[in-house]
Amino acid sequence: MRVSQLLNPTLREVPAEAEVISHQLMVRAGLIRKSASGFYTYLPLGLRVLRKIEAIVREEMDAKGGQEVLMPIMQPAELWKESGRWEVYGDELFRLKDRHNREFCLGPTHEEIITDLVRNEVRSYKQLPLLLYQIQNKYRDERRPRFGLMRGREFVMKDLYSFDRDEAGLGESYKKMYDAYCRIFSRCGLAYRAVEADAGAIGGTGGTHEFMVLADSGENAVVYCPECNYAANVEKAECRPQVIEDVSPEGQHKLVSTPNVKTIEELSEFLVEPKTALVKSLLYQGDEKLFLVLLRGDRELNEIKLNNALGGFVSLQLASPEAVSTILGCAPGSVGPIEVPAGLLVIADEEVPLMKKAVCGANKADYHFVDTVPSRDFRIDKILDLRMMEPGEACLKCGVPLKEARGIEVGQVFKLGTKYSKALGATFLDLNGEEKFCVMGCYGVGVSRSIAATIEQNHDDNGIIWPMPIAPYQCIVVPVSTKDALVVETADKLYLELKRLGVEVVLDDRDERAGVKFKDADLVGYPIRVTIGSKTLANGQVELRERKTGETKLVLVEEVAGQVK
Ligand code: ATP
Ligand code: MG
Ligand code: MG
Ligand code: MG
């Protein structure tokens, strides 16, 4: 490609609304242009990077037995009502109607569509496991779309869904994807860390890891153990065992049997402000299934977060009464495999006492504490307390203090279990002819976000520094003078020769000063620059410069091709 023909509008000025460096550089280097908040056009160089990451992702998915499909972006509301997510997904879901007034949404993710496909097409255990994926635009009406491709409202994701016969099968699929993700981000030339995480709005009951590209500007804080390499998102809760005991003077808060909490109205009785309450954790203990919900009011929430990565623990963040009622199993289409708590123990966070009353219950009967104040009326010395991870805390595995790093979430792998297969009825007949629910996992890579994350991690004052595997082009040939016929001719020949040899190369044939060309080459971030000037050419040499290190060397014209590839 000749730069004179390339649509690559570079800018000297930092665009006003671009807060983070990757956004600034992507606009300045002419990779993207905004059409509306959170929506972008990829210009030719930006699209080349996107395609390269897609290609790496595709190769690694295929290598693990993934089969590519392409699902509709527009999804019928009926399926989302079946899964229960139409009610709970909230404002991030773009909802729309067709001319017949039928409701649809633009897919933020595709569990419903894929589960619908599988329930119709899969009959027998012989058809499993099945790994199906797509690379496609996703739509999320983010509350704060910002940072360019980092948090768009339209973005490119690779999403794979695994369907297995049983938990063991899911374990294998999960491992395959985990390994594939490690390969993907290594191949992209990124420094990353896989961390244990909370399960977000997608829900599910198994484990989950996030893949974080390490960068100081990352939105996520992660803790890691320098000793054993254990790593987790700080949002992930860890458990420390404790027990609850009523220590009120007359023991008046001994468990009193009451009917189960079934509706949001009943639950709201116990909450001053259910809408803003953050239910920090909910869990159960052994067979007794003692549920514990800790409330905090320090955050406004707009999603449900579910996680039981630690074998049977569920932590929740509840936004709305609808969300609460869904968890309690009283909304139409309640959330799949979450066991409806037989009883709840609700305790206010001490800093933010939201509670009028506390409720406690056990599996068989249901019990309430009434008008209690935590620590005055009962002591907590052994609860399964789910706490957020914090830097400096001792690593649960080896006791060494945890360290902190910042990261950008570029991927996540989830064990979903039977949440969606149960809700939608995706079953198969097993070896004994028995009907079983498919055991599912889902696995996303933020393909477009990975571009931004790469730049956050790889740039300097002059511009982007692409890792070779995902650079828009590997090499730029720059004739320093367009007046010197030999320089122009050599540059042209070299360009054609490199192209013939399969090097991805551009020729800066513009009639511009050398300084302008160098600045643009650095800004766009071509890994290798071949500079052709009259002086060195007199000795048959050209200059090779590595963008990353700034190192230069003179090589003979004939040797360039061998050096670049
Ligand atoms: P976040 O925590 O940043 O909101 P998420 O956990 O909601 O992301 P997932 O549902 O796990 O996202 O989706 C899989 C991947 O898609 C994420 O790991 C991320 O890389 C990417 N992604 C999610 N939301 C966006 C967005 N708004 N813009 C660009 N990429 C996104
Ligand atoms: Mg999100
Ligand atoms: Mg996330
Ligand atoms: Mg995620």
pLDDT at residue 367 greater than cutoff 50: no
Beta carbon of 157 within 6 Å of any ligand 1 atom: yes
Residue owning the nearest CA to atom 3 of ligand 1: 409
Residue owning the nearest CA to atom 14 of ligand 1: 444
Q: Please list, residue by residue across 364-397, b when 16 or more beta carbons sit within 10 angstroms of its beta carbon and e when fewer do.
A: eebbbbeebbbeebbebeebbbbebbeeeeebbe
Asked whether the beta carbons of 463 and 25 are under 8 A apart, the reply is yes
Tell me which of 477 and 365 has the higher pLDDT.
477
Q: Provide the pLDDT confidence category of residue 398 given band limits of 50, 70 and 90.
A: confident
Tell me phi and psi for residue 416, to 5 degrees: -85, -25
Mean pLDDT of 74-79: 98
Lowest mean pLDDT among 48-62, 88-102, 127-141, 173-187: 88-102
Beta carbon of 449 within 6 Å of any ligand 1 atom: yes
Residues 6+ apart with CB under 8 A from 231: 193, 194, 195, 196, 222, 223, 224, 225
In this prediction, the answer to ipTM > 0.90 reads: yes
pLDDT at residue 149 greater than cutoff 50: yes
What would the pLDDT profile of 502-530 be if each residue is shown by its tens digit?
999 999 999 999 999 999 999 999 999 99
Q: Which pLDDT value is given to residue 301?
A: 27
pLDDT at residue 432 greater than cutoff 50: yes
pLDDT at residue 13 greater than cutoff 60: yes
What would the pLDDT profile of 339-359 be if each residue is shown by its tens digit?
323 333 333 222 223 222 223
Beta carbon of 151 within 6 Å of any ligand 1 atom: yes
Q: Which pLDDT value is given to residue 330?
A: 30
Beta carbon of 444 within 6 Å of any ligand 1 atom: yes
Asked whether the beta carbons of 325 and 274 are under 8 A apart, the reply is no
Beta carbon of 200 within 6 Å of any ligand 1 atom: yes
Mean pLDDT of 392-408: 86
Q: Which pLDDT value is given to residue 397?
A: 76
Q: Which ligand is nearest to the CA of 140?
A: 1
Beta carbon of 246 within 6 Å of any ligand 1 atom: no
What would the pLDDT profile of 213-243 be if each residue is shown by its tens digit?
999 989 999 999 988 888 988 877 554 332 2
pLDDT at residue 303 greater than cutoff 90: no
Strand partners, 532: 479
Tell me which of 414 and 316 has the higher pLDDT.
414
Residues 6+ apart with CB under 8 A from 319: 90, 275, 300, 301, 302, 303, 304
Say how far apart CA 199 and CA 109 lie, in whole Å.
14
Q: How far is the CA of 271 from the centre of ligand 4 (A)?
A: 29
Q: Which pLDDT value is given to residue 144?
A: 86
Say how far apart CA 414 and CA 152 lie, in whole Å.
22
Mean pLDDT of 134-148: 94
Q: How far is the CA of 213 from the centre of ligand 3 (A)?
A: 13
- Highest mean pLDDT among 77-91, 393-407, 475-489 belongs to 475-489
Asked whether the beta carbons of 234 and 409 are under 8 A apart, the reply is no
Q: How far is the CA of 250 from the centre of ligand 3 (A)?
A: 46
pLDDT at residue 126 greater than cutoff 50: yes
pLDDT at residue 292 greater than cutoff 80: no
Residue owning the nearest CA to atom 15 of ligand 1: 446
Helix residue spans in 122-249 (DSSP H) = 167-187
Q: Which atom of ligand 1 is nearest to the CA of 157?
A: 16
pTM: 0.78
Mean pLDDT of 169-185: 98
The counts of H helices and E strands in the chain are 14, 32
Tell me which of 553 and 320 has the higher pLDDT.
553
Tell me which of 358 and 35 has the higher pLDDT.
35
Q: What is the mean pLDDT of the chain?
A: 77
Q: How far is the CA of 151 from the centre of ligand 2 (A)?
A: 8
SS3 198: coil
Beta carbon of 450 within 6 Å of any ligand 1 atom: no
Starting from the edge strand earliest in sequence, which strands make up the sheet with 292-296, in order?
Answer: 278-281, 292-296, 345-348
Residue owning the nearest CA to atom 8 of ligand 1: 409
Say how far apart CA 434 and CA 302 lie, in whole Å.
40
Q: Provide the pLDDT confidence category of residue 143 given band limits of 50, 70 and 90.
A: confident
Q: Which pLDDT value is given to residue 282?
A: 32
Beta carbon of 407 within 6 Å of any ligand 1 atom: no
Q: Which pLDDT value is given to residue 25?
A: 98
Q: Provide the pLDDT confidence category of residue 206 given band limits of 50, 70 and 90.
A: low
Beta carbon of 158 within 6 Å of any ligand 1 atom: no
Q: How far is the CA of 185 from the centre of ligand 1 (A)?
A: 16
Q: Which pLDDT value is given to residue 353?
A: 33
Asked whether the beta carbons of 359 and 344 are under 8 A apart, the reply is yes
